[in-house]
Structure formats: structure tokens, C-alpha cells
Amino acid sequence: MRHPPLNAPDAALLDALARCVGPANTIRAGDPRQQPYLREWRDRFRGVSPLVVRPATTAEVGEVLKLCNDARVGVVPQSGNTGLVGGQIPHEDGREIVLSLDRMTAIRSIDAGSSALTAEAGVKLAEVQEAARSAGLMFALSMASEGSACLGGALATNAGGLAVLAYGSARAQVLGVEAVLADGRVLDGLSSLKKDNTGYDLRDLLIGSEGTLAIITAATVKLVPEPRDVATALASLPAMDRLVPMFQLAQRTAGPALTAFEFMSERAMSFVIKHGKATAAAAGVAAPCTVLLEISATEPGRAQPMLETILSEALAAGLIADARVAGSQTQRAAMWQLREQMSDIQKLEGGSIKHDVSLPIAHVPEFLDRAAIVVETICPGARPVPFGHLGDGNVHYNVSQPTGMDKAQFLGLWEPMSDAVHALVSEMGGSISAEHGIGRMKRDALLRVKNPVALDLMRAIKSAFDPNGILNPGKLI
């Protein structure tokens, strides 16, 4: 089904939208306060909008969407604006309204007995985590951007992060959602039930839909017991082919207590060391591969022995050459900081072409070898900087420009390089998006790699939820 063409908003609609949320909560075109809503972190996408609206309640979101739907005007939802594929940025033609959820910041309830918390879409992930801790529990969705990323965007993209190995991605950590449909109706699904087998699971459908089916305004999330004992280490591997056997050893030994298994390539580590970002607890000579592994236990005194067993067996088997165990919370934080700044540090090395892909875990080392050949073919001298979450097969295959090459010239190769890397990922049975979503950046690539039947079903779902196609037009599907 083809959606009717969308319209540009007229003055009357802009005035009506301002009345919905209050003139003080709208930002018109030309106002410099719009700029944070119109560009994304990587600066790859910059948009234009006649109006940014900032509703404070679900009812106001409904009023805004009803007006825009009746007028067939596109709406781009946004919360923390930390997305990395352009899904939250309006197009350059200046016809789309930006609907920001940054005023919807309430923690509505905490039910420790049910291990559940309900928060609005504009609440930052770090704030959800802190609210959970105040109840003696933990919200396990964690990522480097959690101080600025908001719950709504994390759910809209089905964010992954640093703890997927143990707790799953965003979808696995949500019990219910509240969402506003394109016509302004509210889907109230804020349940804390662990089981509800009454028909289609609309919650899971909306999570990961990138604002193209409805706008998530609140969610009830799962809380889990906070670990009482945590042990963390950095291990140096003599070769990348030791990576998978090392993971298998750690998984066999620790089982579900293995809560993180991150890998960093030699070049990624060398960038951190070169630019002085490695603390004493985490610094060292860059090995062919460095692993950050963490063991978490609910009983005191259990994590450290498991970690020591893993490291001693790995050393005896030749899987690692060296290891440093965190001896304090400060050292543990320093090790995690090392991993979390991997993306930021690449800015100091010039242009970076980034890929968020997933592979079958056993094939990750082969992919890294083959992808390096692909990249060299596209841009001789380009420097792959892979790192990621090995426990769920997620590779951030970033590529820094050759030393001395013009940055703009290198970034002009983004499309051919991504096409070639994605073709290899598809050939190896992987996915072109592991945790960042599709947005604008990968929309054309999705059409090439996704099963045609799946695409037909996705389009049918989009038309059922949003007949006029106003929700995040031109994104995902």
C-alpha cells in the first residue's frame, strides 16, 4: 500500500500545535535553540524543521499527532538525540515537525515487589538506573551514552549495550509500553505482568520500530537483583584466533555469571594509549586482541575465584599472554572507561566510517580478516578499528582514514565501503544492524539484504498502524 503524499505544515497548523503544548514549549524555524534537535552526534545528518514541539504529557502527544495526521504532515519523534543512524533527524526539505519527548521525564512508579519500574520516554537511562538502585535493584540496560540517551529512544531502536550477554537487549528488559498512535489514540500497555498470552505482542512490535509505528511515551521495565560480588579483568590475547576459544572457556566456567565479554583490537587499544586516555589500571602495550571480561554473582566471594579459574586455565592453554585483575572499584571503572571511549577516541584520528554489525560468534575472527581485505580494496591504507560485544556477536567495525588523507575525501567513500562490508556480513549469515537500528543511514541497504516476504509484511504493518505515513517518514521502511 502506497501512503498518500505528505504536506508541508501551514501557519494555521503551526499555531494550533503551539496551543497544544504552550508557545513556550515550541521552537520555530530560525531560532538557534532548534540546532540541538536538528543534528546528530556524528554530524552525518543535519535536518531542517518548521517547528520543534515539546509536549509534557501523553495527552499532549496525542493532540499533536491527531492534528498532524489530519493534515498529513510528517512527525519525527526524538528523545535524547543520541541515535547513530539518523533516525531521529528530520529531512532537509523542512516539511517535518520534530516532536521532542525531553519534557516527559517522570519516574511514574517503582514496584520493588514486582521488580518493575515505570518511567516516561524522556528519562535518561542513567536516571532509570539510579531510581532502580534506590529500591535495592538494578536496571540492566547500560551503554556508554547512558548519561544522555533516553528510555524512549533506547526502546525505539531496541538498544543493546554492554550487558546484552547476561540480560538481553532492550526488548528483553521491558514488560509493557504506553504509546501514541498516528491518529492520536493511546495504547495503554503499562503492565508489570511477566506473562500475558492474549494475542499479538504489540509491545515487542513497537520496540525496535524506530518511531515509524507509534511514539512510545512510557514503559514499564524489568528490574533485577544487583550483583553483590563483581570481578573484572583485562586479558591480552596473543592472536585474534584465540578470541572465540577464550569466550567459550569463560562461558563454560562461569555460565550465567559471565556478564560481559568485550573485545578490542590492537589498533583500537593503540589509539587509546596514543592519546593518553588509558589510566594506569588499564594501560599497557596493545596486544593483537584485548578482552574485558566481568563475572557477577549474587553471593559474596564467588566472582573472584571464578575469574581466577578462567584466567589461569586460559594462560595454561595459551589463550592469553597476560591479564590484569581490577583490585578496586576505581580500577574496575578505569577498565570500563577504556572500553567505553573506543568510539570517541577515533575522532582524534580523523574521519571514521562506522559499521554496527553482528555475526555468528564463531565467525567473528574470520569476518575481521576478510573485512580488512575488503576495506583495503576500497581505500588502500585505511585503518580498521574493530571492537565490540563478542558475547552477542556484535562487532563495531569502524574504519579510520589513512594517515594524511583528506577527511572529506575519505568520508566520501562511506557508501561504497559500507556496501562492501554489508555484502560480506550478509554472505557470512550476519546482520547489517546489531543495535543501532536502520534510520536513514541503512534504509537502502535494508532493501537489499532483507527477505522480500519480510519486507512485504513490514510494509503491511506500517500501513496498518500509520495509514497516512506521517510517523518518521523515510526512515527504516
| CATH code of 412's domain | 3.30.70.2740
Could you tell me the three cell numbers for 295?
Answer: 563475572
Three-state DSSP class for residue 464: helix
447 in a domain, yes or no? no
Could you tell me the three cell numbers for 5?
Answer: 503524499
120 in a domain, yes or no? yes
Domain ranges, residue 77: 11-103
Query: Is 114 in the same domain as 45?
Result: no
From residue 34, alpha-carbon distances to 19, 27, 28, 185 in Å are 19, 6, 7, 28
Whole-angstrom distance, CA of residue 103 vs CA of residue 119: 12
Q: Give 467: exposed, middle or buried? Use CB within 10 Å, 0-12, 13-18, 19+.
A: middle
Query: Is 135 in the same domain as 188?
Result: yes
Domain count, the chain: 4
Measured from the Cβ of residue 310, the count of other Cβ atoms closer than 10 Å reads: 26
Mean pLDDT by 10 residues, the chain (477 residues): 81 98 97 96 91 98 98 97 94 97 98 96 98 96 92 96 91 97 97 90 96 98 96 97 98 96 95 80 78 94 97 98 94 91 90 96 98 98 97 96 97 97 97 94 93 96 97 95
Query: Is 198 in the same domain as 239?
Result: no
* Alpha helices, H only, 112-170: 125-134, 151-156, 164-167
442 in a domain, yes or no? no
Beta strands in 73-153 (DSSP E): 75-78, 97-100, 107-111, 116-120, 137-138
Query: Is 277 in the same domain as 386?
Result: no
Provide DSSP, 173-228.
Answer: GEEEEEEE-TTS-EEEE----S---SSS-HHHHHTTSTTSS-EEEEEEEE-EEPPS
Whole-angstrom distance, CA of residue 99 vs CA of residue 192: 27
CATH code at position 30: 3.30.43.10
69 in a domain, yes or no? yes
From residue 182, alpha-carbon distances to 125, 384, 398, 423, 471 in Å are 26, 42, 36, 35, 7
Which of 70, 85, 103 is a domain's end point? 103
CB distance 320 to 237 below 8 Å: yes
What pTM did the predictor assign? 0.93
How far is Cα of residue 61 from the mean position of the Cα atoms in its chain? 24
Find where cell 517535518 sits. 96
Q: Position 204: which residue type?
A: D
> Which of 58, 145, 149, 170 is CA-nearest to residue 104?
58
Could you tell me the three cell numbers for 284?
Answer: 599497557
Burial 113-136, CB ≥16 within 10 A → b, else e: eebbbbbbbbbbbbbbbebbeebe
Which of 225, 245, 268 is a domain's end point? 225
Q: How many residues does the chain have?
A: 477
CB distance 226 to 474 below 8 Å: no
Query: Is 338 in the same domain as 272?
Result: yes
From residue 37, alpha-carbon distances to 24, 51, 143, 416, 444 in Å are 16, 10, 21, 29, 24
Query: Is 111 in the same domain as 218?
Result: yes
Query: Is 233 in the same domain as 334?
Result: yes
Q: What is the pLDDT of residue 1?
A: 47
470 in a domain, yes or no? no
CB distance 127 to 102 below 8 Å: no
CATH code at position 241: 3.30.70.2190
Query: Is 115 in the same domain as 220?
Result: yes
Which of 225, 241, 266 is a domain's end point? 225
Which run of H or of E encompasses 51?
A: strand 51-53
Query: Is 93 in the same domain as 116?
Result: no
445 in a domain, yes or no? no
Whole-angstrom distance, CA of residue 30 vs CA of residue 26: 12
Which run of H or of E encompasses 311?
A: helix 303-316
150 in a domain, yes or no? yes
CB distance 174 to 140 below 8 Å: no
Query: Is 94 in the same domain as 159?
Result: no
477 in a domain, yes or no? no
Query: Is 214 in the same domain as 272?
Result: no
CB distance 128 to 117 below 8 Å: yes
CB distance 8 to 95 below 8 Å: yes
With a CB cutoff of 8 Å and minimum separation 6, the contacts of 218 are: 58, 104, 108, 118, 119, 120, 121, 177, 178, 190
Query: Is 119 in the same domain as 220?
Result: yes
CB distance 203 to 275 below 8 Å: no
